[in-house]
Chain A
């Protein structure tokens, strides 16, 4: 474990130094990342020009969901988002090289990059989260503060699992990697809004199959201490850490199985 950590730091450190070489492009990218994610929030603001509440959720409450999910998503994206480029490794046959090294393949892929431009995205979500908290009347206690941090960690872990599992599609159907976008970016988008507004069919999908409801919706119910419009069991709002842990376990198992399915490149 300490070895893995040391290796990750070494590889990622080299990556970061390399990215600092194209400073103009990096700055444009970080600021566009910041700005593009703001567009999602502008959409929320525009909708709230016409309504007082979405279902029973006020603007600051939706902003809280947005911020919680956004920071977690950006964190996962920063550390693991480049796993999407796995198709390039497979297509070019470079994945063979990874298999020859005496280190786990998942660690090597994860450590191959750390796109610091994605800090722009995180910064944006953090601003929205800060604004939401300033508008909401939350009875702050040490537990509630801790719950916020745990919720962000869980959100990042859930998104990371979706990314890992989604990338595995490439081992079976090379080129169909964009399907994973439906779950990663789609999951991020879905979790920015209260799960209660979706129809029962979509809701079952995002709550149980892909555990998107545990990214922001359930933790927010607990932190904001509000009743669940869906009247689901009370303990679900504290279940995110267990769900996140389980999701990571499942994702890594899927990775192991998929790597065994890898048959190198054609010609």
Chain B
């Protein structure tokens, strides 16, 4: 794929999602309400414990809550089904006939989408949180840089996983099941509901080894300085490459058994 085509795809992905202004605003309202509620619950828990839990004091746990809410958009926690819909309608046949690589095509589109969500939603979302409550801010400039790199990798890892989940529609015909499975796995295993450090140590170790760690808790750990930034970034990169390769091989198998709807 040429650089020019990649750039155009990213740009169009960005613009396509920037059109939905009302939806972006609505999502921000919902995330803010959840940020307030989860923040209150986490604070009550820390107050009830009488000491920080797993290294999280009040400002850190609030940073965790608002970061997680701000990442919902770019990392695409909830159902995202562009590819699945094209499989179900049969439009996929057109996509595969294009003289451009299918996976790279959608990768670029998703980078555009995520950039839009980051710039027009996450930044504002996090600023709202920082304005309402007192949350932890990293002291060093390099930690911010590492966090943004980690966030970019989180988006790529999440894309690679969603690509696989969307392709599962080839095998189930109706798309809702596999896409619901994606949301379940990412909400359950990424540290979206409770910081992974709060889990019993053995379970936390398991969760940190799974790919979903790379999508939410990984960047948050880098931000809070709870774990080494270099190790986390490397792990995220490895998972992204593995998942992209896996998605590619599933696409190979699936397109061999492709039957276009309608005839």
Contact = CB atoms under 8 A, between A and B. Distances in A.
Interface of A is mostly: helix
B37 interface: yes
Given A47-B198, A49-B200, A197-B41, A55 B48 contact: yes
B183 A54 contact: no
Contact of B30 (A27, A179, A202): A179
B1 to A, nearest CB: 32
A43 B48 CA distance: 16
A189 interface: yes
Interface stretch (B10-18, B20-28, B221-229, B243-251): B20-28
Contact of B45 (A40, A51, A175): A51
B44 interface: yes
B262 to A, nearest CB: 19
Contacts of B22: 173-176
Measured as residues with beta carbon below 8 angstroms from the partner, the interface class of chain B is 35 or more
A25 interface: yes
A29 B33 contact: no
Contacts of B34: 182, 186, 189
A43 B193 contact: yes
A231 interface: no
Interface string B156-175: 00000000000000001111
A257 interface: no
B40 A51 contact: no
Contacts of B199: 46, 49
Contacts of A22: 173-174
6 contacts: A28-B178, A40-B193, A42-B194, A43-B194, A182-B30, A189-B37
Q: Which 9 A-B pairs have the closest CB atoms?
A: A28-B177, A178-B26, A175-B22, A25-B177, A182-B33, A25-B174, A197-B44, A176-B22, A176-B26
B217 to A, nearest CB: 13
A10 interface: no
A149 interface: no
Contact of A176 (B25, B177, B198): B25
A54 B48 contact: yes
A47 B37 contact: no
B18 to A, nearest CB: 13
Contacts of B175: 25
B159 to A, nearest CB: 21
B198 A53 contact: no
A143 interface: no
B183 A47 contact: no
A93 B186 CA distance: 35
Contacts of A28: 172, 177-178, 180-181
Given A22-B174, A29-B177, A36 B187 contact: yes
Given A46-B194, A202-B37, A179 B188 contact: no
Contacts of B131: none
B148 interface: no
Nearest to A169: B26
B254 interface: no
Interface centre among A26, A35, A176 (most CB of B within 10 A): A176
Given A175-B23, A177-B26, A178-B26, A199 B48 contact: no
B193 A190 contact: no
Contact of B48 (A51, A173, A177): A51
B253 interface: no
Nearest to A21: B174
B36 interface: yes
A50 B49 contact: yes
A193 B187 CA distance: 20
A241 interface: no
A39 interface: yes
A232 to B, nearest CB: 18
A39 B40 contact: no
Interface string A33-70: 10110011011001101111111000000000000000
A113 B178 CA distance: 21
B181 A182 contact: no
B23 A49 contact: no
A36 B29 contact: no
B242 to A, nearest CB: 24
Nearest to A87: B23
A190 B173 contact: no
A33 B180 contact: yes
